[in-house]
A and B are shown apart, each in its own frame.
Chain A
């Protein structure tokens, strides 16, 4: 074993020869020191699977801590390593790390190697670590070759998994010296290549590494896990969130074919973690929901018995919310007071006397993630161990929730990460993990696959926050705002991104600003939903700005350019390019219109940060009110890209997600419960509904950042369409989904 300290980063790289190949570990220094002094609970690194292994046959195994939810995050990490390793990309294979590592080797994931996909975790912070691993392995291979040939290391070049002695032309494959490379000592860790010498990153566009298995059906998602002797559980939880199971009659179903047991999920029965837990986002929101599960030999038997099981619920306080109208009425009452907590403030909005006041309130509903893979999980609980197979978006959260709900010591808890059949934020908080463990620990010693039906998945969501936002602007004689007041009243996550940090409040164009937030607490579970809160406020803010432009008698494109004149110029470039490509200003027949919107995730209030995105929608509305979106012209600036095709895929998907969210999505609340349960009443866009989507690259600024790109495109689509509807028919749409609005005209 050899070791090397990585400067600045508090990690050591250690190497070893394993099974005829080279393996590399990243070990946190704290954990290493503690382990060597024999004092810590941290286990020695050699017990853990390596981060990077190069086998004798040249195969490169990269262990990634990032769940793969479809955005290519695991492929990206492998690319980073391959860039510095100089290996042939076709030899690279990816395996998922087990989160148990973090417990056994505390700090493994603490900086950069975050074990989750959520938050702002993608690539930016991980790059230096993964690239250093690749560089370190490459230098070790070169040194091993130098020793074998007895030549200076400087005469050796590594390229495409081959080491070449440049003066003599002798060659060795990586695999041929991998074993020797495990025991060489580097004098110093190599420094990383300058970006100008990158060959993979920014230059190539490899597909996601898991695709060959996806297209032949062998890829394993959580729901596909199959264990010997496994049984199946079908689950039902209180239809009104926070309600309790009042009664049920197991005898009615226990004699049905295949049925083994009926178990109750009792939120008060959680055993609790035996040690201090460190879930990524805390345990709030992961609590069990009162319910019941039927366990049977096969899922269909369990489902049939569950459907036949007599059960009664105590709805609890949530039943107070009898209808959406009641929610809206209470929300309006809060907003009428203008008494929210001010979070962004400049100048003095109360001192401004202006020529004209524009005022409006906007609303966006609870929405369900509708991941194509319904919620599920498989667990094997024994009196002293727990093994869990799960399509989580966040291994760290899942691990600690599993510990907390099993009461098993973390030394004996193992999580197997599977592929994830859609995340969008739904599989972050771990309420699904908790329910799986709560069922499995009541049926010990047998692997139990716990399944939510689509109906259960839909009605037991952790939804997009429901919110309203009220705005008031004072316009001067030129039609531009002298003051801007806004208040958002939300039920759910208190994130407010896209609102309190809106660029218009920071660009210097509006001297007096006051943005406030207030909370309307409800019982309905909410959570991260692709770009939380921003996905709603891009609509509230960009629709209001559009209304101000109209009131000021100024073209909506021109208005935004004026407001952002002294801001990050990439915003103006995005606006101008999208408008030009969409034919902005060219006449359209009555009933057709163009609308524009711009936003940024997650750094709207900063220059040259995050991903700035702009959309121009071209729509047509029939006199009967049927809305057709003909095209979306889309521009963006995330600085630069490391895999352009992966970025385009996220933009395409994000645009369509934004379309569906704005056109279709909204849950209905009746007597505290969600009404919609499946795709018949919670419709999804299909192939035939997709407009022409034109993504233009020329607004990319080339600024030195690789900003995350998966969330941002969801934002501007809805407001661009809403603003286009106004241009088409003169009706202002102030809430989503648009399919529920009356758009008829004459």
Chain B
């Protein structure tokens, strides 16, 4: 056990924990923040995407010891009251089907729009590599486009 300190959505956290525990399981099982999802455990599906010091990162591959001192943002902290422009559009455009992968998609999309406010289709393709088994990709693309338009307007 090691003591690891970091912040999650602005809240300071200090945990005595097996330092090899992936950040994903630290969030879900130790901090009971279950919005970040387990999909594959090998960094391929993106369901576990969080922001690590502001950058979209797959939390299933990061041991918690690697985030000592870091700032983490999760879906629970994407906005104060679920009204981030992407969250609002995701509801309005009925983007999610089962919804399980969408926390990760939203975190990836929020990071993309922060770095590239008006992404091209190719930039969306290159940056959103999450797996959605329900096949909501066309609506994810539409949601990102709409958000870029509204933010640029």
Interface residues of A (CB under 8 A from B): 69-71, 205, 207-208, 210-212, 214-221, 223-224, 226, 232, 257-258, 298-301, 369-374, 419-424, 453-455, 645-646, 649, 652-657, 660, 678-680, 684-688, 690, 693
Q: Smallest distance from the beta carbon of B53 to chain A beta carbons, Å?
A: 20
Residue B30 is within 8 A (CB to CB) of chain A in the complex: yes
Q: How far is the CA of A660 from the CA of B132 in the complex (A)?
A: 11
Q: How far is the CA of A71 from the CA of B94 in the complex (A)?
A: 11
**Residues of chain B in range 83-140 having any CB-CB distance to chain A below 8 Å:** 86-87, 90-94, 96-103, 106, 124-126, 128-140
Interface contacts (Cβ under 8 Å), in number, total 181
Residue of B nearest to A659 (CB): B135
* Chain B contacts for A420, CB-based, 8 A: 98
Q: Contact: A301 with B135, CB < 8 Å?
A: no
Picked from A207, A218, A223, A371, the residue with its CB within 8 Å of the CB of B91 is: A207
Q: How far is the CA of A215 from the CA of B30 in the complex (A)?
A: 22
* Chain B contacts for A654, CB-based, 8 A: 135
Interface residues on chain B, size class: 35 or more
Q: Contact: B99 with A216, CB < 8 Å?
A: no
Q: How far is the CA of A652 from the CA of B21 in the complex (A)?
A: 38
* Chain B contacts for A214, CB-based, 8 A: 90, 96, 99, 102
Q: Contact: A300 with B25, CB < 8 Å?
A: yes
Residue B47 is within 8 A (CB to CB) of chain A in the complex: yes
Q: Contact: A221 with B100, CB < 8 Å?
A: yes
Per-residue 0/1 for B32-65: is the Cβ within 8 Å of any A Cβ (1 yes, 0 no)?
Answer: 1111111111101101000000000000000000
Picked from A70, A215, A680, the residue with its CB within 8 Å of the CB of B87 is: A215
Q: List 22 A-B contacts (CB under 8 A).
A: A70-B96, A70-B98, A210-B99, A211-B96, A212-B82, A214-B102, A215-B87, A216-B75, A217-B78, A298-B30, A370-B133, A372-B37, A372-B131, A649-B94, A649-B136, A652-B136, A656-B135, A679-B44, A685-B137, A686-B130, A686-B131, A686-B137
Q: Contact: A652 with B102, CB < 8 Å?
A: no
The 4 lowest CB-CB distance pairs between A and B, nearest first, are A217-B35, A656-B135, A70-B98, A421-B100
Residue B145 is within 8 A (CB to CB) of chain A in the complex: no
Q: How far is the CA of A690 from the CA of B130 in the complex (A)?
A: 13
Q: How far is the CA of A657 from the CA of B135 in the complex (A)?
A: 7
* Chain B contacts for A373, CB-based, 8 A: 37, 39, 98, 100
Q: Smallest distance from the beta carbon of B31 to chain A beta carbons, Å?
A: 11
Q: Contact: A211 with B133, CB < 8 Å?
A: no
Q: Contact: B94 with A679, CB < 8 Å?
A: no
Picked from A655, A678, A693, the residue with its CB within 8 Å of the CB of B40 is: A678
Q: How far is the CA of A191 from the CA of B75 in the complex (A)?
A: 46
Residue B150 is within 8 A (CB to CB) of chain A in the complex: no
Q: Contact: A684 with B39, CB < 8 Å?
A: no
Q: Contact: A649 with B74, CB < 8 Å?
A: no
Q: Contact: A211 with B91, CB < 8 Å?
A: yes
Q: Smallest distance from the beta carbon of B116 to chain A beta carbons, Å?
A: 15
Q: What 11 new A-B contacts, CB under 8 Å, besides A299-B28, A372-B45, A687-B124? A: A215-B99, A217-B34, A223-B38, A224-B34, A371-B98, A372-B131, A422-B133, A422-B134, A645-B94, A679-B131, A684-B131
Q: Contact: A219 with B99, CB < 8 Å?
A: yes
Q: Contact: B76 with A688, CB < 8 Å?
A: no
Q: Contact: B137 with A687, CB < 8 Å?
A: yes
* Chain A contacts for B100, CB-based, 8 A: 221, 371-373, 421-422
* Chain A contacts for B5, CB-based, 8 A: none
Q: How far is the CA of A375 from the CA of B133 in the complex (A)?
A: 15
Q: Smallest distance from the beta carbon of A375 to chain B beta carbons, Å?
A: 11
* Chain A contacts for B37, CB-based, 8 A: 221, 223, 372-373, 421
Query: Knowing A211-B96, A298-B25, A372-B131 touch, does A216 contact B124 (C-beta < 8 A)?
Result: no
Residue B146 is within 8 A (CB to CB) of chain A in the complex: no
Query: Knowing A372-B98, A649-B94 touch, does A217 contact B74 (C-beta < 8 A)?
Result: yes
Picked from B36, B45, B97, B125, the residue with its CB within 8 Å of the CB of A71 is: B97
Q: Contact: B40 with A70, CB < 8 Å?
A: no
Interface centre among B38, B76, B136 (most CB of A within 10 A): B38
Residue of A nearest to B134 (CB): A653
Q: How far is the CA of A516 from the CA of B139 in the complex (A)?
A: 42
Q: How far is the CA of A240 from the CA of B39 in the complex (A)?
A: 23
Q: Contact: B137 with A656, CB < 8 Å?
A: yes
Q: Contact: B75 with A217, CB < 8 Å?
A: yes
Interface centre among B90, B96, B129, B136 (most CB of A within 10 A): B96
Interface centre among A652, A680, A693 (most CB of B within 10 A): A652
Q: Contact: A679 with B137, CB < 8 Å?
A: no
* Chain B contacts for A424, CB-based, 8 A: 133
* Chain B contacts for A454, CB-based, 8 A: 39-42
